[in-house]
Structure 1
Amino acid sequence: MAAKLIIDTDPGVDDAFAIALAAVSEDVDLIGVTTVFGNVPLAATTANARRVLALCGREDVPVAAGAERPLVHPHPHRARYAHGADGLSGRSSALPEPSRAPETADAVSLLASLLDAAREPVTIAPIGPLTNIAALLAAHPGVRSKIDRLVIMGGALGHGNTTAAGEFNIWSDPEAAHRVLSGGDVPAVLVPMDLTYRCAVDLGWLGTLESSGPLGAALRALTPDYQEHYRKALGWDGLVLHDAVAVAEAIKPGILVTEALPVQVECGFGPARGATVVDNRRPELRADTEGQPAGATVDVAMETDLDGLRAFVLDRLAMGRS
């Protein structure tokens, strides 16, 4: 039986790759996509998600729009510098026009109804700011038992990408991230940018994807602005498909090697706002210094077979060539 998956997203080029990865995987039952502000405003992230599903021939999947701003404080800026003005390198309109309208229900309501109706636990892959997920866990505690795990793309163990300390998804709504990552409500995997950067793909990988068929060519066509940004970030010609790495773990549990660690999110207004503070100390030392046993932990993704991960994503996306 195909595993049930919901993606919460803010497309975004890497989000588009991630949605497509799930949409064309035959061992995944993609039962819903919810959208959130982030790389671009909510109207654009919702339109982009619907267009990517149309590209994949998956308009059976319902899409619901969610939070248009963070839980507490205004969002400082978008990520147009990486994803272009429309979130897809200015090429959103080149994707198919979707025939299915967004759901009239909001994202949290759709999440709650899908989970309530599920007969087995559902994996949720939040690959944008965590606002919708924080609201779901707070407002609908009864659905927590229906969540198998959250596989979250976000955070950084070393340095950030939006600020010196903050990775974009967590920095976009630190209060929501704190609620989700520190609450221990449901099992969670955190896929930080330290690992996703190491999974970056080169021009050869992209060329193989482009030549695999219409889906691969369409996805490659979305990357010019994103590639230009990552030429600066990486120092070489390539792309970091952050969100696709997290969705790969959602599809194939264990493709990433994780370690259970406490995670805190900095919600202050100094230069570390949005930082994910991962406690790598031994549990015994934590108990000695904090005077209490360790609390909730998150499975933080630390390692993977880099070539195997790249091949997994490429092979799955190439399956959508028809």
Structure 2
Amino acid sequence: MTPLIIDTDPGIDDAFAIALAAGSPEVDLLAVTTVFGNVALSHTTRNALRLLELCGRSDVPVAAGAERPLVHPVPHRASEVHGGDGLSGAADTLPPATHEVGGRHAVTLMADLLRQAVEPVTIAPIGPMTNVALLLALHPELKPKIGRIVAMGGGVRGGNTTAAAEFNVWSDPEAAHRVLSEEDVPTVLVPLDLTHRCAVDAAWLARLAAGGRIAQGLHALTPSYVATYRRMLGEDGMVLHDAVALAEAISPGILRTTACAVEVDCSHGPGRGATIVDLRHHLPTTRRRVDVALDADTTAIGEFVLSRILG
């Protein structure tokens, strides 16, 4: 099994990502760490605890991390998409948590788990990359313990929060720059361009609603998210951004990647938070590259996610 740490800001697509990992025997879910993002840190942390309870994984430790970006305050959250509590206003439909966050900060917990690890650990940041940037900055000696970073974020051809920037990267461009452009840890970036192509439809949602306790619990969280994507897609359905990244973390190679140099715009102009993905193949080999997921069997991704949630 691959040891896995999920760093997250639940968030409805994050909820599906957590459930996917919890239902996948290929990974050993070591911890869930939380970060500000879709909603404030207090909400993302509570949501993570209750989602693990829904999935029967109250054994997984949870630690709260950064409540703001590294440098500049974030202008707004994504409550218009995810609801004021991050889960369509339905967080209280989840079972109450039977465990609490420990006394360690998210970065401390990740560092402790890496020190103890006997196999390379996959870290999956599926919210703003603040906690992971802090981990790499504070504990560079632990980088050899990280097998891969599999991050959801960015867009090759534009964004969803601004014309240029995707939400996770826009929320903390300086952190994303550290993770994607400055470090040498093997990294996979799963951008909007692919996650939108992996959107699930009304039939998928109906199968989810007809499933067991976990599937029905997740389905209850989707109304505001589906309403948002109905306006975007023109039909009932939704985009499982973070679950697509977790599919790659769980099953390496399920997404088809291309090694690219990636820069993050940290300016304060209209391009702030943009990920500039250089698709040219003749670049000097000295430039740092990350594996950008540009293609996949999109139908198979939806089936993979649903099969693990339905059990």
TM-score class, shorter-chain normalisation, is over 0.9
Map of 2:215 onto structure 1: 216
Deviation at 1:235, TM superposition (A): 2.3
The residue identity in structure 2 corresponding to 1:306 is T
1:178-218 per-position Cα deviation (integer Å, ceiling 9, x unaligned): 01000133000000010000000001001101112111111
Map of 2:4 onto structure 1: 5
Structure 1 contact 152–191 (Cα < 8 Å) conserved: yes
Structure 1 contact 137–185 (Cα < 8 Å) conserved: no
Task: Give identity over the alignment, percent.
Answer: 61
1:193-212 map, 5 Å: 193-212=192-211
Which one of the candidate residues 288, 301, 304 is aligned to 2:293?
301
Q: Secondary structure at the match of 2:271?
A: coil
Q: 1:90 and 1:235 mapped to 2: Cα distance?
A: 23
The residue identity in structure 2 corresponding to 1:246 is A
Q: Secondary structure at the match of 1:250?
A: helix
Deviation at 1:29, TM superposition (A): 0.5
Map of 2:305 onto structure 1: 313
1:105-160 per-position Cα deviation (integer Å, ceiling 9, x unaligned): 00000000011100010001100000000000000011100000000000001120
Deviation at 1:236, TM superposition (A): 2.1
Q: 1:310 and 1:296 mapped to 2: Cα distance?
A: 31
Unaligned runs of 5+ in 1: 288-292
Structure 1 contact 184–297 (Cα < 8 Å) conserved: no
Map of 2:237 onto structure 1: 238
Deviation at 1:282, TM superposition (A): 2.2
The residue identity in structure 2 corresponding to 1:17 is F
1:46-125 map, 5 Å: 46-125=45-124
Moved more, 146-155 or 226-235: 226-235
Q: 2:281 and 2:65 mapped to 1: Cα distance?
A: 39
Structure 1 contact 5–29 (Cα < 8 Å) conserved: yes
The residue identity in structure 2 corresponding to 1:205 is W
Deviation at 1:97, TM superposition (A): 0.6
1:139-150 map, 5 Å: 139-150=138-149
Q: Secondary structure at the match of 2:18?
A: helix
Structure 1 contact 165–271 (Cα < 8 Å) conserved: yes
Map of 2:225 onto structure 1: 226
Deviation at 1:255, TM superposition (A): 0.2
Structure 1 contact 261–279 (Cα < 8 Å) conserved: yes
Q: 1:123 and 1:191 mapped to 2: Cα distance?
A: 15
Deviation at 1:103, TM superposition (A): 1.2
1:16 to 2:15 alignment: yes
Q: Secondary structure at the match of 1:316?
A: helix
Q: Secondary structure at the match of 2:137?
A: helix
Q: 1:153 and 1:189 mapped to 2: Cα distance?
A: 8
Map of 2:128 onto structure 1: 129
1:13-52 map, 5 Å: 13-52=12-51
Q: 1:39 and 1:239 mapped to 2: Cα distance?
A: 16
Map of 1:274 onto structure 2: 273
Q: Secondary structure at the match of 1:152?
A: strand
Moved runs in structure 1, 4+ residues, more than 4 A? none
Unaligned runs of 5+ in 2: none
1:45-87 per-position Cα deviation (integer Å, ceiling 9, x unaligned): 0000000000001010000000000000001100001000000
Deviation at 1:6, TM superposition (A): 0.4
The residue identity in structure 2 corresponding to 1:302 is L
The residue identity in structure 2 corresponding to 1:190 is L
Map of 1:290 onto structure 2: none
Q: 2:82 and 2:125 mapped to 1: Cα distance?
A: 18
Q: Secondary structure at the match of 1:32?
A: strand
The residue identity in structure 2 corresponding to 1:95 is L
Deviation at 1:307, TM superposition (A): 1.2
Q: 2:124 and 2:245 mapped to 1: Cα distance?
A: 7
Structure 1 contact 262–294 (Cα < 8 Å) conserved: no
Q: 1:254 and 1:66 mapped to 2: Cα distance?
A: 30
Q: 1:56 and 1:282 mapped to 2: Cα distance?
A: 43
1:181 to 2:173 alignment: no
Map of 2:154 onto structure 1: 155
Q: Secondary structure at the match of 2:149?
A: strand
Q: 1:234 and 1:173 mapped to 2: Cα distance?
A: 27
Q: TM-score, normalised by structure 1?
A: 0.95
Q: 1:104 and 1:228 mapped to 2: Cα distance?
A: 38
